[in-house]
Structure 1
Amino acid sequence: IGAIGQPHILVRTIALRSPDDVPAARKVYFAWYLPFALLTVTISLYARVLLTGELSDPELTLPTMAQAYLPDVLAGMVLAAIFAATLSTADSMLLSCSAAIS
């Protein structure tokens, strides 16, 4: 259900060699997805408590927390990671779409 809006993830599942590989792919996917989802929810709850009343735009939560609670070098790495994740997702979407068209 979580991969419906993410065709770049669905392409990896479609590219399996045989249907027998699906259980192994499912285990790997959920082994990475579940800890990531739990950490995401945990960080958002911490942000809700720590940044009460400070944010006008919720999309700035992660950079604001990084600036407030991390050294400058690590805050820069968080910002770089946000941009890298955005570009990676856009790149994967473009590759998936171009593969589907061709």
Structure 2
Amino acid sequence: NRKDECNISNTPETTALFNKSGENSRYAAAHLVEWKDPASFESWTECSADIEAEKDQYLWGVIAGQESIDDWDNYVATLNSLGLEDVLAEANEDYAELNAQMEEYLAAHGEA
């Protein structure tokens, strides 16, 4: 926002460069692959609160010395009982779908 002699004479060039970069960024954004709506991850939406709570409890328990890392298998079993396996299966399906869309996009627009 300085208005000294250098910046005043440079303003038209700077404005032109700024406008050009804005046009290019909008052009690039218009051609991005659309990502899936996070709300459509149904398994995660259902299970995330319980999984996150268990993760936090175990993590901070280990840090505080109240939990042992020797209980890792029990921890994983608990997460699976809370629905983690369903979440991972859904995520892998969604990843495969998104990956196929990305390959289709790159085939159509070239790998730049």
- TM-score by structure 1 length? 0.38
Pick the structure with greater CA Rg: 2
- TM-score by structure 2 length? 0.36
